[in-house]
């Protein structure tokens, strides 16, 4: 198998561990992530002054000669499948897509194929440059199977590292459109009494809690104030729906990006998403407020009414600021039309 070698000398004041030395001193053009370097150490692909070192905790001295042997990226074991993609933007390093509801992002037990990754491997072919040593797209974030909207995927190691760093730093701009039960308004005294909620200027609801695995249902996430991961969601009313208003089109944006965050946070506030089968979005709407069609549309909506509408980030290779928008899919547009109808 073809290989390349990366050679360099350890710089002054090296960290105490080999893995940290490599992460600091490996040349940028080698495009080797911390996790990839860790695997290369374990595989015996790193030599220090001519001796193979497999202990990531090994001490290394200033000036030591480092040679890393990197094998050419291998083909992925994931099957390529010719599945249509709605591509918003693509270049040599990344691709931005508008994912339809119903598509799983990555193969997993229960969804071995028909996923976005299967489609991307077919679409990109030899353009994939070997994320993590494997010719596969670099998934840096996901949206739920039944959530539609924008995703960015890395095609190169450089893009994968750069995008992952932006997501870790919470600098990626992501805004979602959702249809929820009720109207999350600052004038609602009930909402002001919900723990973890507050209002900011402009009638913007801020939800700040911890999120973690549900204690009894491991497939669900749950709000906590003692343990879990910090999570912050902001919500703005775009359009109240019904007369009187009994639902709302809202815009949500994330300060953090946790699993099911918007769905869990809005349900915690009593404003679960219409169609959400997991977090209780099955409240009843008043016929007088939205008409028979509106009631039927909400009751029969087949997924959580959530769409990743805008996505903005700095291109990890060119440095250009990019922002993309995806219109609401037809099922959500029809839901809004039905809920606007009165009588």
Residues annotated as catalytic (active site), given as ranges: 144
The single residue listed with the structure tokens 């990890």 is 316
How many C-beta atoms lie closer than 10 Å to residue 205's C-beta?
26
CA-based nearest residue to 326, from 133, 160, 85, 149: 149
Q: How far apart are CA 17 and CA 81, in angstroms?
A: 43
- Counted residue by residue, the chain has a size of 343
User: At 196, which helix (H) or strand (E)?
Assistant: none
Classified as helix, coil or strand, 319 is coil
On whether the CB atoms of residues 26 and 36 are closer than 8 A, the answer is no
> Encoding tokens for residue 44?
């015996």
- For the chain, counts of helices (H) and of strands (E): 8, 18
**Quick one: 16 exposed, middle or buried, by C-beta within 10 A (0-12, 13-18, 19+)?**
exposed
- DSSP letters, 47-63, are EETTEE---TT----TT
Quote the Cα angle for 258-107-32, to 5°: 70
Q: CA dist 14 to 9, 21, 46, 63, 97, Å?
A: 11, 6, 17, 9, 42
Preceding amide of 23 cis, omega within 30: no
> Encoding tokens for residue 148?
């539609």
**Quick one: 107 exposed, middle or buried, by C-beta within 10 A (0-12, 13-18, 19+)?**
middle
């Amino acid at each position: 198998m073809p290989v390349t070698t990366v050679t360099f000398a350890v710089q002054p004041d090296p960290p105490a561990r080999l893995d940290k030395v490599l992460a600091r001193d490996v040349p940028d053009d080698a495009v080797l992530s911390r996790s990839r370097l860790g695997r290369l150490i374990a595989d015996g692909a790193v030599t220090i002054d001519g001796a193979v070192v497999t202990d990531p905790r090994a001490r290394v001295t200033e000036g030591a000669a480092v040679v890393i042997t990197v094998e050419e990226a291998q083909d992925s074991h994931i099957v390529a499948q010719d599945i249509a993609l709605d591509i918003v933007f693509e270049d040599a390093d990344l691709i931005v897509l508008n994912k339809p509801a119903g598509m799983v992002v990555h193969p997993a037990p229960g969804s071995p194929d028909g996923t976005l990754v299967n489609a991307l491997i077919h679409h990109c072919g030899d353009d994939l440059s070997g994320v993590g040593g494997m010719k596969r797209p670099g998934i840096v974030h996901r949206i739920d199977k039944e959530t539609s909207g924008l995703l960015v995927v890395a095609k190169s190691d450089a893009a994968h590292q750069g995008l992952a760093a932006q997501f870790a730093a919470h600098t990626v701009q992501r805004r979602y459109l959702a249809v929820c039960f009720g109207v999350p308004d600052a004038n609602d005294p009930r909402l002001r009494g919900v723990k973890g909620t507050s209002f900011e200027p402009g009638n913007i609801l801020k939800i700040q809690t911890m999120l973690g695995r549900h204690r009894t249902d491991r497939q669900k996430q749950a709000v906590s104030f003692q343990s879990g991961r910090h999570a912050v969601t902001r919500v703005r009313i775009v359009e109240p729906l019904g007369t009187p208003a009994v639902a709302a089109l809202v815009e949500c944006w994330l300060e953090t990006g946790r699993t099911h965050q918007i769905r869990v946070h809005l349900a915690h506030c009593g404003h679960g998403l219409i169609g959400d089968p997991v977090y209780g979005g099955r409240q009843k709407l008043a016929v007088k407020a939205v008409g028979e069609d509106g009631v039927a549309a909400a009751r029969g909506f087949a997924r959580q009414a959530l769409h990743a509408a805008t996505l903005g980030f700095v291109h990890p290779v060119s440095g250009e600021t990019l922002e993309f928008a995806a219109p609401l899919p037809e099922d959500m547009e029809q839901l809004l039309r039905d809920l606007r109808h009165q009588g």
